[in-house]
Amino acid sequence: MPKKKKILFHSNHSKAFTGFGKNCKNVLTYLHKTGKYEIIEAANGFVKSNPALKKMPWKCVGTLPDDPVRLSQLNKDPNLARAASYGGETIDSLIKEFKPDIYVGAEDIWGFNKYWEKKWWNKTNCMIWTTLDSEPILPLAIEAADHVKNYFCWASFAEKNMHKIGFKHVKTLRGIVESKHFYKLPQEDKTKLREKFKIDSNCFLIGFVFRNQLRKSVPNLLDGFKKFCDENPNLNTKLLLHTSWAEGWDIPRLIKEKGIDEFKILTTYFCNKCKNYEIKPFSGQEKDCRFCKSEKSQNTITAAHGVSEKQLNEIYNLMDVYCHPFTSGGQEIPIQEAKLVELITLVTNYSCGEDHCTKESGGLPLDWSEYREPGTQFIKASTSPFSICEQLNKVYKMDVLEKQEMGFRSRQFVIENYSTETIGSKLEDIFDEMDFCDWDFDFEEKPRNPNYKPNENLSDSDWLVDIYKNILNMDVDPSSDKGHQHWMKKIKENFSRKKILNYFKEIATKENEEIFNKKTIEDYLEGDSPNNRVAVVMPGSAGDVLMVNALIDNLKSLYPDKDIYFITKPVFYPLIEDNENVFKLIPYHESYDSLLALEGSAGHEGYFEVAYLPHIGTQKVLNYVHNGKDKMQIELYEN
């Protein structure tokens, strides 16, 4: 039996109701059916051993660490939390565990921040499949292009701009849209659907399917819709916004502000009990379901809870035209889904929208004006409400034959450029051209050497190569390494070798501490069972530590057979270390403020039978659960 290439596919989880999630599902379903590859899905946003991931047809693991204490630590720092949400915390261990022949990262480019500097990068076949949606191209994306051999983006807009910069190896590989799920229903079925939701057969229904993000131009669409209504006062027309009303734009406020009849705006409600959906005007969240009669079970859809593909196809079929105004986007999968239903699509003529508003794509362009995003200075599009109104009028006045011809072109364009068969076969070609990986390189990190003394007689370039290798254990190529080039520039600006050497020594010392000396809570615990341990957490101050220390004897009398661990800042160790009833001291970290992390919760055994946190006590931060075994409550009183 021929050996199968092992693919680690790293993206949004394939069951997430997001663009990356849908693409992941479609890609892995296609690859799985070929039988040619061993597939591992690395699902962002899930802890590694989440039981739900075991139900997938292929192997699936989460990219967040299982350790709740580590998760708590990460959540204290927004930057660390963000990186972890993209898999940055576990990707090295996943590569080491599974040793894939091919690594595919399908995410926003910042999800792979500096992966190309990792030891395993390009030792295996590494491919980035990312969305680049604005000019100027993000510097991180440009930096990545220097190190990523297999670099793919989702829209021709991105390829064109990367080629302008000089990266000719960047290619367009569109995200998969499963064409079998989306198609035009017979007129009889469409009529029944409208009757089901009390939408008149003569209603001109405009639709927009989107995640309620600020980059989706809801205010512009509402302005354009109002102008269209004003120009056609006798027309029965409505706007269907298939989105979450609980995040992003405050849509009810916008509707009221713009003076639009709220009954002209429809949305999708989804019942989490019976899984039925309903199209109706928005009237708040937690509504009663008219299908299963459950109370407060209906909400507008979210990225986690929403309609099936079959139901979404029905929703597209309710529409007469699809309008998608946005500031920028990587691919915007709802546009392709609408085209598969043979709807004429009105799309902002910028970013990936350039692919969807041409004659051959069955779309019409929406004009826009430029504005700059604060901070990044990205060019963003503010879609013209006048253009929205103009193009709606154009579609409304089209004769039936012209609409049918444009609708047919829409569907064909997607099938030829985005379908499972088209993109799946391209992926097969890409993967089949890649070699198997021997995995003959050493994963183990070697200690840095901050005490190394370089040869000062070397040239500046050779001196830098020398300290990279012998202090940081890094082999660098002077002709391409950005770090080497940075320091050469500094030297030319009269930056002294002594300062550079001191910086390298500081980095070496810091990396030694982070890589080789970092401890987890398990490193301090003894014995196999948490039932033999009690924890007391008091980070400071000195007075509080002394007061709690005075209560330890009483605590020991209540738990005579258990070891008491005192968690505090090391500076306060001298105040406690002579207490014979304290089994061991543990250095305090903010993550130890989580009682459920210490005592355990669903899916996590915990480290202590009971943990006391007398320094906190609010409804937000629990300090009193104690697994139902509490014998006392430590309290501090201030005079």
Q: Is residue 636 part of a domain?
A: no
In one letter, which amino acid is 610? V
Give the pLDDT score at 381. 98
- Average of per-residue pLDDT across 300-318: 93
Give the pLDDT score at 602. 63
Q: Is residue 558 part of a domain?
A: yes
**Is the same domain home to 137 and 189?**
no
Dihedral of the alpha carbons of 158, 162, 168, 171, in degrees to the nearest 10? -20
Compute the distance between CA of residue 239 and CA of residue 428 in angstroms, rounded to an integer. Answer: 41
SS3 of residue 19 by DSSP: helix
Residue 289 has what DSSP assignment? P
Q: Which of 144, 126, 119, 147 is nearest to 473 (CA)?
A: 119
Residue 533: CATH number of its domain: 3.40.50
Residue 98: CATH number of its domain: 3.40.50.11930
Most confident range, picked from 79-93, 278-292, 590-604:
278-292
Give the pLDDT score at 590. 79
Q: Is residue 346 part of a domain?
A: yes
Compute the distance between CA of residue 469 and CA of residue 392 in angstroms, rounded to an integer. Answer: 64
pLDDT at 620 over 60: no
Confidence of residue 627 (pLDDT cuts 50, 70, 90): low
Compute the distance between CA of residue 600 and CA of residue 588 in angstroms, rounded to an integer. Answer: 18
**Is the same domain home to 69 and 161?**
yes
Residue 246: CATH number of its domain: 3.40.50.2000
Domain count, the chain: 4
Beta-strand ranges (E) seen in 73-149 are: 102-106, 125-130
Give the pLDDT score at 633. 52
Q: Which residue has the tokens 């979450």?
A: 244
Task: Give me the count of residues in the chain.
Answer: 639
**Is the same domain home to 45 and 102?**
yes
**Is the same domain home to 264 and 198?**
yes
Give the pLDDT score at 48. 94
Average pLDDT, the chain: 91
**Is the same domain home to 398 and 492?**
no
Last residue of some domain: 470, 487, 516?
516
Residue 141, domain extent: 5-176+427-432
pLDDT 10s digits, 503-530: 999 888 888 877 777 777 888 999 888 9
**Is the same domain home to 81 and 164?**
yes
Share of the chain above pLDDT 70, in %: 96
Check residues 75 and 496 and name the one with the higher pLDDT: 496
**Is the same domain home to 474 and 531?**
no
Check residues 90 and 638 and name the one with the higher pLDDT: 90
Q: Is residue 452 part of a domain?
A: no
Give the pLDDT score at 631. 52
**Is the same domain home to 81 and 204?**
no
Whole-Å CA distances, 32 to 7, 9, 48, 173, 232:
11, 12, 21, 19, 51
Residue 326 has what DSSP assignment? B
- Average of per-residue pLDDT across 144-165: 95
- Average of per-residue pLDDT across 65-88: 83
DSSP assignment string, 481-541: -HHHHHHHHHHHTT--HHHHHHHHHHHHHHHHHHHHS---GGGG--SS-GGGEEEEE----
Share of the chain above pLDDT 90, in %: 76
In one letter, which amino acid is 98? F
pLDDT 10s digits, 459-509: 999 999 999 999 998 888 888 777 899 999 999 999 999 999 999 998 888
Compute the distance between CA of residue 462 and CA of residue 487 in angstroms, rounded to an integer. Answer: 12
Please give the helix or strand (H or E) that residue 223 lies within, else none.
helix 218-231
Q: Is residue 443 part of a domain?
A: no
Q: Are 583 and 564 in contact (CB under 8 A)?
A: yes
pLDDT 10s digits, 569-612: 888 998 998 999 999 999 988 778 888 888 887 666 789 999 99
Cα 451 versus chain centre, distance? 41
Please give the helix or strand (H or E) that residue 271 lies within, else none.
strand 265-271
**Is the same domain home to 31 and 122?**
yes
Q: Which of 299, 141, 275 is nearest to 212 (CA)?
A: 299
In one letter, which amino acid is 216? K
Q: Which of 29, 30, 39, 33 is nearest to 4 (CA)?
A: 39
Q: Interior CA angle at 334 toward 329 and 336, to 5°?
A: 95
Confidence of residue 638 (pLDDT cuts 50, 70, 90): very low
pLDDT at 531 over 50: yes
**Is the same domain home to 193 and 332?**
yes
Compute the distance between CA of residue 388 and CA of residue 357 in angstroms, rounded to an integer. Answer: 13
Compute the distance between CA of residue 551 and CA of residue 528 in angstroms, rounded to an integer. Answer: 27
Residue 457 has what DSSP assignment? T
Q: Interior CA angle at 380 toward 378 and 381, to 5°?
A: 165
pLDDT at 420 over 70: yes
Which residues fall within 8 angstroms of residue 221, CB to CB, at 6 or more apart?
A: 208, 239, 323, 325, 383, 385, 388
Q: Is residue 446 part of a domain?
A: no
Last residue of some domain: 516, 544, 559?
516
Confidence of residue 625 (pLDDT cuts 50, 70, 90): low
**Is the same domain home to 561 and 502?**
no
Which residues fall within 8 angstroms of residue 194, CB to CB, at 6 or more apart?
A: 200, 201, 203, 318
Give the pLDDT score at 617. 59
Q: Is residue 418 part of a domain?
A: no
Q: Is residue 81 part of a domain?
A: yes
pLDDT 10s digits, 310-364: 999 999 999 999 999 999 999 999 999 999 999 999 999 999 999 999 999 999 9
**Is the same domain home to 506 and 583?**
no
